[in-house]
A and B are shown apart, each in its own frame.
Chain A
Amino acid sequence: MSTLTDWTIAKLSRAIAAREVSPVEVTRACLARIERLDPALRSFITVDTEGALAAARELEAELAAGLSRGPFHGIPLAYKDLCHVRGLPTSCGTKTREYFASDPECTAVSRLREAGAVTLGKLNMTELALGPFGDNAHHGDAQNPWKRGHAAGGSSSGSAAAVAAGFAVGALGSDTGGSIRLPAACCGVVGLKPTYGRVSRAGVMPLSWSLDHLGPITRTVTDAALLLGVIAGHDPLDATSSWRGVPYYERVLETPIDGLRVGLVENYYFDGLDAEMAAAVRAATSVVAGLGADVSPVKVPDPQPLVDVCNVIARSEAAAIHARLLRERPHELQPVVRARLEVGLHISAHDYLQALRLRARYAREFIARAFAVVDVLVAPVIPEPAPALAVVKAGTPDEVVQRMGRFSRLTRPFNGLGLPALALPCGFSGDGRPLALQIVGRPFDEATTLRLGHAYEQAAGWVSRRPALA
């Protein structure tokens, strides 16, 4: 039998409900593993040992009294360090220990706690969520659990690394240009960027309010479905959150995918792609075709103009949000982060507003054209397996920013479009780094996206692999 820290949310949930495993037992196992192995991986910024154990004891007492809060009762989770969690500091990856304070707490965290989750702590991230590699000069570069010295991906670097390493059973990340999906892809775990408005951002440090999304990072698609079911839904504290009802996502996962129309995006997404990555994504579509899906190559509207538009929106909004830090303490920022932020100070209101209008036009056109003949799209997530940290950090700030743009070019369009996008493993490179694919659905159709992901995951079997940590 595998160790508790290898288990999924679904498996732990059943074991806790059956009183075969206690919340304290699994929380202790996670904390011990973090203490032993995380100094080398740097996935956590704050570990709340006392708070986690106290919560686990309370939840254990509830179970002893016959009370259960449901599937998350006693499940140890951790949160990207831009989610404000009551009683814990929120650095947002900056040098300042408590950079972001919010009243109230992050709504998603509150909902998970109410559902019975135990908070292990706060996870490492790229400074201000501005970067796709997970390097951080203040808190240490998050390491890829599969290959030390390689990027965990960013900006939710600690979220993906901690889940892959068995430190937390699940995590929350945020995604403005790929920051859930890029680290999930690099670390061989599952990451879901929901539809814009599906999950409240209240209590989360904004980077670009027009493009920010909050979502789960887990080991399996089933776990992502379970976690999304808790955090999705309207929140009066976030006016952009949707009133649409939240389906029971996990109930549709076993629905067969025969007849589902799957489009493999042939334009833009395979340009310059690593050969192993391209082969793995194409092989994944053969697997789902074997399960009965109707797979066909499709051409989507060119995403490059949308990427340009999103750059204007993201940089304008980020510079506005972090203007005080940028003006008063710019020396505290890493040079590349500072360079990316400063661009936003020089974008005119006219260009920003034109970008917002263009984004709306592209979203309408893309949805109408891309989903006219298919139900979901499949594409790569990252252009190459997790690159070496020394390589991606080398060069001038301008060179690094260019490299960042290339690494996130496959995820960024779906932030602009607001569509649900799921990243999941689809193999390993010859030297053991994870390969990944991206499944993109219609607006608010996370259910179909997860259903296809689950069918592939079950058939492919990559999910059983775990990184070998000392």
Chain B
Amino acid sequence: MDLAAAIARLAAELALADEPSGFVVALEHDPDARDAREHVD
């Protein structure tokens, strides 16, 4: 299956510390976005 092969290849890049929750962390803690929001609040 193509999708499985693609994931297997890409997953070789992952580090032990990579967790799914890192996605929300990346969004919520982008410092520049926080600055932009404070600018317009």
A358 x B7 contact (CB < 8 A): yes
A166 adjacent to chain B (CB < 8 Å):
no
Instruction: Count A/B pairs, Cβ under 8 Å.
Output: 115
Q: State which of B3, B23, B30, B34 has its C-beta within 8 Å of the C-beta of A351.
A: B3
Q: Chain A 242-256, CB within 8 Å of chain B: the 1/0 string?
A: 101101110110000
Q: Chain A 163-202, CB within 8 Å of chain B: the 1/0 string?
A: 0000000000000000000000000000000011100000
Stretch at the interface among A109-117, A361-369, A426-434: A361-369
Q: State which of B7, B26, B28 has its C-beta within 8 Å of the C-beta of A355.
A: B7
B27 x A363 contact (CB < 8 A): yes
* Bound CA span A195–B30, Å: 12
Closest to A353 in B: B20
- Residues from chain A with a CB closer than 8 A to the CB of B19 are 357, 360
The answer to whether residues A443 and B7 also contact, given A346-B1, A360-B20 and a CB cut-off of 8 A, is no
A12 adjacent to chain B (CB < 8 Å):
no
- Residues from chain B with a CB closer than 8 A to the CB of A442 are 30, 32-33, 36
Q: State which of B7, B25, B34 has its C-beta within 8 Å of the C-beta of A312.
A: B7
Instruction: Kindly name the residue among A247, A311, A312, A442 whose own CB sees the greatest number of chain B CB atoms within 10 A.
Output: A442
How many whole Å from B19's CB to the nearest CB in chain A? 6
Closest to B20 in A: A356
The answer to whether residues A444 and B21 also contact, given A347-B4, A363-B26 and a CB cut-off of 8 A, is no
B21 x A360 contact (CB < 8 A): yes
Q: Chain A 433-470, CB within 8 Å of chain B: the 1/0 string?
A: 00000000011110110000000000000000000000
Q: State which of A311, A351, A360 has its C-beta within 8 Å of the C-beta of B26.
A: A360
B6 x A354 contact (CB < 8 A): no
* Bound CA span A444–B33, Å: 6
Q: How many residues of A contact B (CB 8 A)?
A: 44
B10 x A447 contact (CB < 8 A): no
- Residues from chain A with a CB closer than 8 A to the CB of B4 are 347-348, 351
How many whole Å from A176's CB to the nearest CB in chain B? 15
How many whole Å from B2's CB to the nearest CB in chain A? 8
Closest to B30 in A: A443
Closest to B22 in A: A360
A219 adjacent to chain B (CB < 8 Å):
no
Q: State which of A196, A351, A445 has its C-beta within 8 Å of the C-beta of B7.
A: A351
B27 x A195 contact (CB < 8 A): yes
A247 x B32 contact (CB < 8 A): no
* Bound CA span A444–B36, Å: 9
Instruction: Kindly name the residue among A309, A357, A375, A447 whose own CB sees the greatest number of chain B CB atoms within 10 A.
Output: A357
B22 x A364 contact (CB < 8 A): yes
B7 x A244 contact (CB < 8 A): no
- Residues from chain B with a CB closer than 8 A to the CB of A315 are 3
How many whole Å from A463's CB to the nearest CB in chain B? 23
Q: Chain B 4-21, CB within 8 Å of chain A: the 1/0 string?
A: 101110110110001111
A122 adjacent to chain B (CB < 8 Å):
no
* Bound CA span A346–B11, Å: 18
A359 adjacent to chain B (CB < 8 Å):
yes
A276 adjacent to chain B (CB < 8 Å):
no
- Residues from chain A with a CB closer than 8 A to the CB of B36 are 375, 442, 445, 447-448
The answer to whether residues A447 and B14 also contact, given A308-B7, A360-B26 and a CB cut-off of 8 A, is no
* Bound CA span A248–B41, Å: 7
A357 x B3 contact (CB < 8 A): no
B20 x A252 contact (CB < 8 A): no
Closest to B14 in A: A357
B30 x A309 contact (CB < 8 A): no
* Bound CA span A358–B22, Å: 9
A418 adjacent to chain B (CB < 8 Å):
yes
- Residues from chain A with a CB closer than 8 A to the CB of B20 are 353, 356-357, 359-360
Q: State which of B6, B14, B18, B22 has its C-beta within 8 Å of the C-beta of A308.
A: B6
Q: State which of A252, A308, A361 has its C-beta within 8 Å of the C-beta of B40.
A: A252
A7 adjacent to chain B (CB < 8 Å):
no
B18 x A357 contact (CB < 8 A): yes
A343 x B33 contact (CB < 8 A): no
A309 x B7 contact (CB < 8 A): yes
17 residue pairs A–B, Cβ–Cβ below 8 Å: A197-B24, A197-B28, A247-B41, A305-B6, A309-B10, A312-B7, A346-B1, A351-B8, A355-B7, A358-B18, A360-B23, A361-B22, A371-B30, A418-B23, A442-B36, A443-B30, A444-B37
User: Which 9 A-B residue pairs are closest in the complex by CB-CB distance?
Assistant: A360-B22, A356-B20, A360-B23, A442-B33, A443-B27, A354-B11, A308-B6, A247-B40, A364-B26
Give 5 A-B pairs besides A343-B3, A356-B20 with Cβ atoms closer than 8 angstroms.
Answer: A197-B24, A354-B14, A357-B14, A358-B7, A367-B26
